[in-house]
Amino acid sequence: MTGNLDWSLLEIDIEIWKSIISVVITTIVTGVAGHLLIGKPKVKWGVSHGFAFNLRKETEDYETNLIYTQSLFIQNMGRKPAHEIEVHLNFPPEHFQTWPSFDYQSTTTPQGQFVIKIGTLGKHEHLTIEMVQGRFDLPQVLYVRTAEGPCPQMNIAPQPIAPTWLKLIVTALMLIGLWKVVEMLVGYFI
């Protein structure tokens, strides 16, 4: 064995290289698209509102009482239902309710944390947990999770809604841009 390699076998026409590259790119794009299009639950949560009301007692010393309120918003943004949603608070609130009305269970962990358990949250479904506390500040949300895994927190703020005509124009421009990118890539590789 002399170590000589016949380099003429490695010389491949440029058209064959283009075909190989286009097959590899198509395979990768199809695999990534398939992974992204598989439906899965995607639960996010955030505090949409909180306020401290200063209520005055009508007595001689005008003693004040603070009443704390908070709205915890939970939404499944995915394409499949989320199961076994758990909201962990560091202690039980004095009063809370869900809106819309959901069947839930509440438990306390051995460490004293309060857990609200909700069976299922359908695709694109949401709920709000409203809490009211009178004696001291509201409990903190420690953790939100589902059977599928932990749920990230999202920032929530009021947002103006764009008019329909503006949304249609922006959508049309994005589709035209996407078409031009695909056209350019096809022209480059073919």
What is the CATH topology of the domain spanning 43-150? Immunoglobulin-like (2.60.40)
Q: Three-state SS across 107-119?
A: EECCCCCEEEEEE
pLDDT in tens, 7-53: 554 566 677 777 888 899 999 999 888 877 888 899 999 998 889 88
**Sequence ranges of the domains in the chain:** 43-150
pLDDT in tens, 118-175: 999 999 999 999 999 987 889 999 999 999 999 999 998 888 899 999 999 999 999 9
Q: What is the largest CA-CA distance in the chain?
A: 108
Residue 64 scores a pLDDT above 90 = no
Q: Do 129 and 96 touch, CB atoms closer than 8 A?
A: yes
Q: Is the dihedral of CA 146, 149, 150, 156 positive or negative?
A: negative
Q: Is this prediction's pTM over 0.75?
A: no
Q: Do 73 and 130 touch, CB atoms closer than 8 A?
A: no
- Please, what is the Cα angle at 15 between 13 and 21, to 5 degrees? 110
